[in-house]
Structure 1
Amino acid sequence: MTQESKLQEPTGIKKYFKEQNIEFSFNRIAIQGLGGMAHGLFASLLIGTIIKTIGGFIPGAVGAFLLEIATYTGAVQGAAMALAIGYSMGCAPYVLYSLATVGFAANALGGGGGPLAVYFISLVAIFFGKLVSKRTPVDLLVTPTVTILVGVLLAKFLAPTIGQVAVLLGDVIMWATEMQPFLMGILVSVIMGIVLTLPISSAAICAALGLVGLAGGAAVAGCCAQMVGFAVCTYRENKVGGLTSIGLGTSMLLVPNLLKKPVLWLPPTIAAAITGPIATCVFKLTMNGAPVSAGMGTCGLVGPIGVVTGWLTPGEAAITKGLTAITPGAMDWIGMVLICFVLPAILAFVISEFMRKMGWIKEGDYKLV
Structure 2
Amino acid sequence: MTAEEREAEAALLSAAAESGENADADKNGGSAAQKEEIKPEFSRKFILYILKKGFVRYFIDAFTGMAQGLFCTLIAGTILGQIGTWITSAGTDAALAVGGGVTAVANIAKMLMGAGIGIGIAHSLKAPKLVMFTAAVAGLVGAFGDAIVDGFTGGFVSSSVNDVLSGIAPAAPGNPIGSYVVSVLAVELGRQVAGKTKVDIVVVPLVMFVICLFAVWAAWPFIQLVNLIGEGVALATAATPAVMGIVIAAVMGILLTLPTSSAAIWLAVASPVVAAYAAGEVSFATYDAILLAGGAAMVGCSAHMVGFAVQSFRENKWGGLIAQGIGTSMLQIPNLMRHPQIMVPPIIASIIVGPLSTCVFGLRCNAVGGGMGTSGLVGIFGAIDASVEVGLPEWKLALGIVFCCFVIPAVVCFAVSELMRKLGWIKYGDQSLSV
Provide TM-score, normalisation by structure 1: 0.84
Kindly state the Cα deviation for residue 83 of structure 1 after the two structures are TM-superposed.
Answer: 1.7
Deviates most, 144-153 or 36-45 = 36-45
Kindly state the Cα deviation for residue 327 of structure 1 after the two structures are TM-superposed.
Answer: 6.8
Contact 2:291 2:386 in 1 (8 A): no
For the pair 1:77 / 2:116, whether they are aligned, the reply is no
Kindly state the Cα deviation for residue 309 of structure 1 after the two structures are TM-superposed.
Answer: 3.8
Question: 2:141 is aligned with what amino acid?
Answer: A
Kindly state the Cα deviation for residue 334 of structure 1 after the two structures are TM-superposed.
Answer: 1.5
- Taking a change above 3 Å as real, the CA distance of residues 247 and 53 of structure 1, as seen in their structure-2 partners, is closer
Deviations 1:224-275 (A, max 9, x none): 1111101111111222222122222222222232222322211111011101
Q: Distance in 2 between matches of 1:99 and 1:185?
A: 37
SS of corresponding position for 1:132: coil
Kindly state the Cα deviation for residue 308 of structure 1 after the two structures are TM-superposed.
Answer: 2.5
Q: Distance in 1 between matches of 2:394 and 2:431?
A: 38
Runs of at least 5 residues in structure 1 that lack an aligned partner in the other structure: 12-22, 313-323
For the pair 1:94 / 2:120, whether they are aligned, the reply is no
Q: Distance in 2 between matches of 1:88 and 1:292?
A: 23
Q: Name 2:155's counterpart in structure 1.
A: none
Contact 1:231 1:246 in 2 (8 A): yes
SS of corresponding position for 1:249: coil
Q: Name 1:260's counterpart in structure 2.
A: 338
Q: Distance in 1 between matches of 2:314 and 2:83?
A: 38
For the pair 1:243 / 2:321, whether they are aligned, the reply is yes
For the pair 1:184 / 2:244, whether they are aligned, the reply is yes
* Number of residue pairs the alignment of both structures matches: 339
Contact 2:144 2:178 in 1 (8 A): no
Q: Distance in 1 between matches of 2:261 and 2:112?
A: 21
For the pair 1:340 / 2:418, whether they are aligned, the reply is no
Q: Name 2:258's counterpart in structure 1.
A: 198
TM-align CA RMSD: 2.4
For the pair 1:218 / 2:218, whether they are aligned, the reply is no
Q: Name 1:20's counterpart in structure 2.
A: none
Could you tell me which of 200, 207, 223 is aligned with 1:139? 200
SS of corresponding position for 1:42: helix
SS of corresponding position for 1:361: coil
Q: Distance in 2 between matches of 1:329 and 1:309?
A: 11
For the pair 1:296 / 2:386, whether they are aligned, the reply is no
SS of corresponding position for 2:426: coil
Q: Name 1:318's counterpart in structure 2.
A: none
SS of corresponding position for 1:210: helix
For the pair 1:106 / 2:166, whether they are aligned, the reply is no
Q: Distance in 2 between matches of 1:36 and 1:150?
A: 20
Q: Name 2:72's counterpart in structure 1.
A: 43
SS of corresponding position for 2:106: helix
Contact 1:53 1:309 in 2 (8 A): no
Deviations 1:152-180 (A, max 9, x none): 3322x344433222211111112212211
Higher relative contact order, chain-length normalized (CA < 8 Å, sep 6+): 1
Deviations 1:282-322 (A, max 9, x none): 1111112xx2422122222222122234446xxxxxxxxxx
Contact 2:252 2:297 in 1 (8 A): yes
Contact 2:306 2:406 in 1 (8 A): yes
Question: 2:371 is aligned with what amino acid?
Answer: G
For the pair 1:65 / 2:101, whether they are aligned, the reply is yes
Kindly state the Cα deviation for residue 325 of structure 1 after the two structures are TM-superposed.
Answer: 5.6
Q: Name 1:26's counterpart in structure 2.
A: 55
Q: Distance in 2 between matches of 1:55 and 1:258?
A: 38
Q: Distance in 2 between matches of 1:326 and 1:48?
A: 25
- Taking a change above 3 Å as real, the CA distance of residues 343 and 281 of structure 1, as seen in their structure-2 partners, is same
Q: Distance in 1 between matches of 2:423 and 2:175?
A: 48
Could you tell me which of 424, 428, 431 is aligned with 1:359? 424
Q: Distance in 2 between matches of 1:268 and 1:332?
A: 22
Deviates most, 324-333 or 343-352 = 324-333
Q: Distance in 1 between matches of 2:178 and 2:336?
A: 32
Contact 1:110 1:161 in 2 (8 A): no
Provide TM-score, normalisation by structure 2: 0.72
Q: Distance in 1 between matches of 2:105 and 2:199?
A: 37
For the pair 1:163 / 2:163, whether they are aligned, the reply is no
Runs of at least 5 residues in structure 2 that lack an aligned partner in the other structure: 1-6, 14-51, 148-172, 272-289
Question: 1:132 is aligned with what amino acid?
Answer: V
Q: Distance in 2 between matches of 1:27 and 1:252?
A: 17
Could you tell me which of 84, 108, 131 is aligned with 1:55? 84
Kindly state the Cα deviation for residue 75 of structure 1 after the two structures are TM-superposed.
Answer: 2.7
Q: Distance in 2 between matches of 1:67 and 1:202?
A: 25
Could you tell me which of 8, 11, 23 is aligned with 2:10? 8
